[in-house]
Amino acid sequence: MDDLWSSDVWDLMTRTFPDDNNGSRIILTSRLNDVAMHADPDSPPHEISLLNVDESWNLLHDKVFGIKQVCPPELEDIGKQVAQKCQGLPLALLVVAGHLYKIARTPESWGDVAKSVSIVVADEPDICLGVLAMSCNYLPNHLKSCFLYIGVFPEDSEVEVERMINLWVSEGFLLEERHKSIEEMGRECLEDLLSRNLLMVRKRRWNNEVRTCGVHDLIRDLILREAGKEKFLQVTRNHEATNPSAQKLRVRRYKTPSKQVPHFERFKLLRVLVIFGFIFQDFPLEVTKLVHLRYLEFYCKDDIHWLVSELHNLQTLIFGHRGYKSPTIPASIWKMKHLRHLHVNGFFSFPQSIIDSFGFFSFLQNKLQNLEVLSCLALSSCTSELFSAIPNLKRLTVHHEEELTEFERVEISQHLSNFSRLKELEILKFRGNRQYFRRMPGKYSLPTSLNSLTLTDTYLPWEDIANIVMLPNLEVLKIKYHGFYGAFWRLNDNEIFNQLKLLLINETYLKHWDAGSVNFPKLQCLVLKRCFDLEEIPKDFGEICTLESIELHKCKTSAAASAKNIQEEQESMGNDCLSVLINDCR
């Protein structure tokens, strides 16, 4: 049964199948993973992957020359280029092979095809796009909007999943459900599109979570065709801008080869504005007239203007500061009640008060209840008053770039302890300065809600890791560029990372590491980078039953050998699941 689209149809068909216990089997194909799982919940479906380069060339070769003929040597390299540009999709390979079969078999003719593979495929819309369009037609309305929105990204883009979901939220494609956050809804939509094979995974995180995704060129052609039909999306050059009052047009992406930017203030209903490839000298005040904006991202040498608060609906502000001094955030930011994500390049100080027409008053009366992501905040702004006013923060990036006096070290220690006031904080990234910040004060406390912690250039002594061991929910710990400092790291049996699954150490003076399986009972992934002095990985790590992978990049050969020994020990006990990756160790 080929190309089954509905579980209900399968249930209806199975009523007619006799069960004579004679070993008969039924093979079905579907583009929907849910349908395949429904047909036989006890066995995972066989997922057909895209063809690799060799398989693509073999298929193209056989369709053009047949099994008995051989491709002329002068066409082989060009033919392989053509096959590679089909990106592993058999449907595209068959269409291109049909075209090559009809034309002259000369390097010039085949070279022209290599330059225009997408055009060749587009000339057969019923064969390719017509077949693929069926996948789009079966999408529910909210999912179809999410799918068509991929067309805003340029061809061959590798799209960060978090960024894409944030854009979906800003456009209003996702509706919150009880007991689910809107980000969780976005993840479900993503997984749905992946299971339908409309999106492709480009990169995964250590825990197999999708980090970046993309679409095949043919799928992108389908998106642009369908989006154009529905007046959903338009891609145009700057000088070709069309009627800004078009009611149905949700998205317009400009290609701006010149140093001009479109007159976007004309698009009064715009919800998302992202400007790449252009740096404003002064803050563009015309942006503040787009009162329906929910997502704003651009680059500027100026500070954020106080009129940004006129964007009452703004949820995400990504400000790529390109000035020489640290950017200034206006106090009017406290009026932006719907703000969820605030990212500013370079560290900035958060305004601690606000002035209105009635005079001066504390920002405590203007809490940003919806703010969940904040970066890159100056450590000097990490006061208890600020954190009390942003109680629902989930992700925080903090930078410290200044030299400390002894008095300031005591004050900074208090700032570090203020992190514990963020009861909802899940991800904390802290960066010091290797020029000035030779040692972070040892007295601090962190919120118990932390799931991920990254320390960079903080130069903590290894003994201070006791502050981190106590975190009950910590699953990811990344120590980068001397986040901890010293040649010896010893963990006693009482120092246990109960939930830690990923440990990354990147560039450290660590030589001897005394630890065991008791200290990391749930560790899944260990990554060591540029640990030039580390002699070996603790032998007892071979007894961590959850350990799945060890990676070493630019480490000592003795450390690499110890990783191999751990792998061999695991294999001797019948565990073949541990993978060891060694790169440039000498």
366 touches 350 (CB < 8 A): no
510 touches 536 (CB < 8 A): no
pLDDT tens-digit readout, 342-366: 999 878 888 876 554 444 445 446 7
For residue 513, count CB atoms less than 10 angstroms from its CB and return exposed for 0-12, middle for 13-18, buried for 19 or more. Answer: buried
pLDDT the model gives residue 254: 56
Which residues partner with 552 through β-bridges? 528, 582
Mean pLDDT of the chain: 85
For the stretch 175-184, contacts whose Cβ atoms lie closer than 8 Å and that sit 24 or more positions apart, written own/partner, are 175/142
Instruction: Find tokens 């976005």 and name the residue.
Output: 186
Cα dihedral 53/58/61/66 (nearest 10) = -170
Rounded Cα–Cα distance for residues 419 and 7 (Å): 50
Closest CA to 509 of 556, 552, 465, 549: 556
Contacts for 405 with CB less than 8 Å, ≥ 6 apart? none
pLDDT the model gives residue 245: 45
Rounded Cα–Cα distance for residues 473 and 449 (Å): 6
Tokens of 156: 């061959």
pLDDT tens-digit readout, 154-198: 888 899 999 999 999 999 998 777 778 888 999 999 998 988 878
Q: Which parts of the chain sit beneath pLDDT 70?
A: 122-131, 134, 237-263, 353-365, 401-410, 434-443
Rounded Cα–Cα distance for residues 253 and 234 (Å): 6
Closest CA to 371 of 390, 348, 396: 390
Dihedral angle sign, alpha carbons of residues 331, 334, 335, 340: positive
Which residues partner with 454 through β-bridges? 429, 478
Tokens of 250: 């949700």
pLDDT the model gives residue 357: 47
The structure's pTM equals 0.81
For the stretch 323-328, contacts whose Cβ atoms lie closer than 8 Å and that sit 24 or more positions apart, written own/partner, are 326/378, 326/401, 327/303, 328/303, 328/304
- Indicate the SS3 state at residue 375: strand
Rounded Cα–Cα distance for residues 235 and 393 (Å): 36
What is the residue type of 342?
A: L
- Indicate the SS3 state at residue 420: helix
Helix (H) or strand (E) holding 580: strand 579-583
pLDDT the model gives residue 166: 94
Q: Helix 141-148 and helix 161-171: axis angle, to 10°?
A: 120
- Indicate the SS3 state at residue 565: helix
Q: From the CA atom positions of the chain, what is the Rg in Å?
A: 28
pLDDT the model gives residue 247: 40
pLDDT the model gives residue 358: 47
What's 455-519 look like in SS3? Answer: EECCCEEHHHHHHHHCCCCCCEEEEECCCEECCEEECCCCCCCCCCCEEEEECCCCCEEECCHHH
Q: What is the DSSP string of 131-172?
A: HHHHHHHTS-HHHHHHHHGGGGSPTT--EEHHHHHHHHHHHT
- How far CA 291 is from CA of 305, 367, 511, in Å, comes to 15, 21, 57
Task: Read off the DSSP letter of residue 17.
Answer: S
- Nearest-5° Cα angle at 253, 250 to 256: 155
